[in-house]
């Protein structure tokens, strides 16, 4: 007996609906004639499809054009962008950044909440007590948690959004792929985990958790330097150090969510080895923000004062060195590139990704100048051909990756083929 199953007419219609919605999302408003060209469907099929999607509130007529044919103008159909909204959060040690976007991906509201403003926000929300970064307020919700919940309500009200369809949150630490929980560490503020729990308790919407570096890789894959790559490694160089692995178009998190913890890599040039709880003697100690600033000082470069709450501020000396490119600046970039190449070589030897993207504050500040130097040093210690690129996503790549993640989940639900 044959195991081949023929799709039912209902399933075929649902698949066609989803294809049409994805085309409208990718290309913007289209005429029925253009949809026929892109889908290969007949005129009656496209007409029925547009009718169904219109009744579901997903597609509407957004204009007319006379360029397609003689006679009456042709209707132009577009995705109903305000059919649903998604929210994204980038949770830092010292702040939380929020964004709200419609179903078409257009950002309709943003907000940044510095930790120092949490007390005022808590007063406005009626929360008693103020706590430091390490723990919750006595007798109530941590003020930063209350501030984020209040900000979500405020930007939603301003945009006319009752509640987001999906929320994606990016944070330091490990996001357990099995449970969707934040694997807690003493290095993380206690309010991070409290915020995740509060969002899931207070919102009638899925709240997705992802590691910050993984979200930056998703942003570079969809919007930035790796748009033409389905396999690459993003090396995050900032105050902290990490990596994200994308293989065959899929993000690989590892068994516990720890894939890419390259800060713990044992590397030459360090006194001793990293431990399970301290990565300073590993790759982290060579290329962390503090290490980059110290290296800049060794080469006689001006590093400037750190702003209040700034953890490392390594991007300024790197950007200035990349612009000058010679003398002490060139020597500094050469030594930094050699250090970065050590960590990149380990990822290349195991994964052979063909492409390494340098992200984080240092990777973006170094740009093409640093990427070229890393590529040169990497080619000297690895037999595998590997292109090195600088990250190109503008703005906050973590927030951008969170928006991409939330939109993908919302569209998968709303464009479901089993509607």
- Would 4 be classed as within a structural domain? no
Contact between 389 and 225 under an 8 Å Cβ cutoff? The reply is yes
pLDDT at 138: 40
Digit-coded pLDDT (tens) for 5-64 = 455 777 788 888 888 888 998 888 999 999 999 989 999 999 998 999 999 889 999 888
Sign of the CA dihedral running 9, 12, 13, 14 = positive
The C-alpha atoms of residue 397 and residue 405 are separated, in whole angstroms, by: 12
Say if residue 202 is in the same domain as residue 303.
no
Q: Is 220 contained in some domain? A: no
Residues 26 and 61 both lie in one domain: yes
Q: Are residues 115 and 148 in the same domain?
A: yes
DSSP 116: G
Same domain, 280 and 355: yes
Do 286 and 385 belong together in one domain? yes
Interatomic CA distance for residues 133 and 81, integer angstroms: 38
φ/ψ of residue 223, rounded to 5? -125, -10
Return the structure tokens found at 132.
Answer: 């430091």
pLDDT band at 348 (very low <50, low <70, confident <90, very high): very high
Task: Give me the percent of the chain exceeding a pLDDT of 90.
Answer: 60
Burial class of residue 275 (count of CB atoms within 10 Å of its CB; 0-12, 13-18, 19+): exposed
Assess whether 181 and 257 both reside in one domain. no
- Looking at the structure, do residues 378 and 243 belong to the same domain, yes or no? yes
Domain-embedded: residue 132 = no
Is there a domain that residue 73 lies in? yes
The whole-number average pLDDT for the span 371-400 is 96
- Shared domain check, 91 and 31: no
Residue 130 has pLDDT above 50, yes or no: no
Are residue 274 and residue 334 in the same domain, yes or no? yes
pLDDT in tens, 209-242: 999 999 999 999 999 999 999 999 999 999 899 9
- CATH number of residue 13's parent domain: 1.10.10.10
In contact, 239 and 311? CB cutoff 8 Å: yes
**Alpha-carbon distances, residue 392 vs 16, 251, 261, 363 (angstroms):** 34, 19, 22, 10
Domain count, the chain: 3
Give the residues across from 174 on adjacent strands.
Answer: 183
Which of 350, 387, 381 lies closest to 368, judged by CA?
387
Q: What is the CATH number of the domain that holds 332?
A: 3.30.420.40
Residue 278 lies in a domain: yes
Q: Is residue 152 part of a domain?
A: yes
Q: Quick check: is 286 in a domain? A: yes
pTM: 0.86
- Give yes or no: residues 289 and 353 share one domain: yes
Q: What is the CA radius of gyration of the chain?
A: 24
Distances, alpha carbon 213 to alpha carbons 33, 241, 244, 312, 364, in Å = 42, 9, 6, 17, 14
Containing structural domain, residue 109: 86-121+141-214+399-415
Burial class of 72 by CB neighbour count within 10 A (0 to 12, 13 to 18, 19+): exposed
106 and 195 co-located in one domain: yes
Q: What is the dihedral of CA 99, 105, 106, 109, to 10 degrees?
A: -20
Does residue 345 share a domain with residue 236? yes
What does residue 20 show for φ and ψ, rounded to 5 degrees? -65, -45
What stretches of 212-338 adopt beta strand conformation (E)? 232-237, 241-247, 250-252
Buried b (16+ CB within 10 A) or exposed e, 298-330: ebebebeeeeeeebbbbbbbbbbbbeeeeeebb
Average pLDDT, integer, range 74-95? 91
The answer to whether residue 365 sits within a structural domain is yes
Give me the mean pLDDT over the 394-416 stretch.
93
Residue 369 is encoded by which pair of tokens? 């100048």
């Amino acid at each position: 007996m044959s195991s081949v199953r023929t799709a039912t007419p209902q399933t075929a219609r649902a698949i066609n609906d989803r294809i049409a919605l994805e085309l409208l999302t990718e290309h913007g408003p289209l005429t029925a004639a253009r949809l026929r060209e892109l889908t290969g469907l007949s005129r009656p099929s496209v007409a029925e499809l547009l009718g169904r999607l219109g009744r579901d509130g997903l597609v509407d007529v957004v204009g007319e054009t006379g360029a397609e044919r003689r006679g009456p103008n042709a209707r132009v159909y577009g995705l109903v962008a305000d059919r649903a909204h998604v929210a994204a959060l980038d949770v830092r040690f010292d702040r939380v950044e929020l964004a709200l976007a419609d179903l078409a991906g257009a950002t309709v509201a943003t907000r940044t909440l510095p930790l120092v403003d949490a007390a005022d926000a808590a007063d406005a929300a009626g929360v008693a007590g103020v706590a430091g970064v390490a723990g919750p307020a006595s007798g109530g919700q941590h003020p930063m948690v209350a501030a984020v919940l209040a900000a979500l309500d405020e930007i939603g009200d301003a945009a006319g959004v009752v509640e987001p369809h999906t929320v994606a949150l990016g944070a330091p630490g490990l996001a357990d792929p099995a449970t969707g929980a934040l694997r807690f560490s003493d290095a993380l503020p206690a309010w991070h985990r409290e915020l995740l729990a509060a969002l899931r308790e207070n919102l009638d919407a899925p709240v997705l958790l992802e590691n910050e570096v993984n979200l930056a890789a998703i942003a570079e894959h969809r919007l930035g330097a790796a748009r033409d790559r389905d396999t690459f490694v993003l090396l995050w160089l900032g105050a902290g150090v990490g990596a994200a692995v994308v293989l065959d178009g899929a993000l690989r998190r590892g068994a516990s969510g720890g894939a890419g913890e390259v800060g713990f890599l044992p590397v030459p040039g360090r006194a001793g080895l990293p431990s399970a709880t301290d990565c300073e003697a590993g790759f982290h100690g060579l290329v962390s923000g503090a290490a980059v600033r110290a290296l800049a000082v060794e080469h006689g470069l001006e590093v400037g004062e750190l702003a209040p709450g700034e953890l490392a501020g390594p991007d300024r000396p790197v950007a200035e060195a990349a612009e000058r490119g010679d003398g002490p600046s060139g020597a500094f970039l050469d030594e930094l590139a050699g250090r970065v190449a050590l960590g990149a070589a380990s990822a290349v030897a195991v994964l052979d990704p063909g492409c390494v993207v340098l992200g984080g504050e240092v990777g973006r500040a170094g740009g093409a100048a640093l990427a070229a130097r890393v590529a040169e040093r990497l080619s000297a210690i690895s037999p595998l051909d590997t292109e090195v690129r600088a990250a190109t996503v503008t703005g906050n790549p973590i927030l951008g990756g969170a928006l991409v993640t939330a939109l993908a989940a919302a569209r998968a639900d709303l464009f479901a083929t089993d509607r």
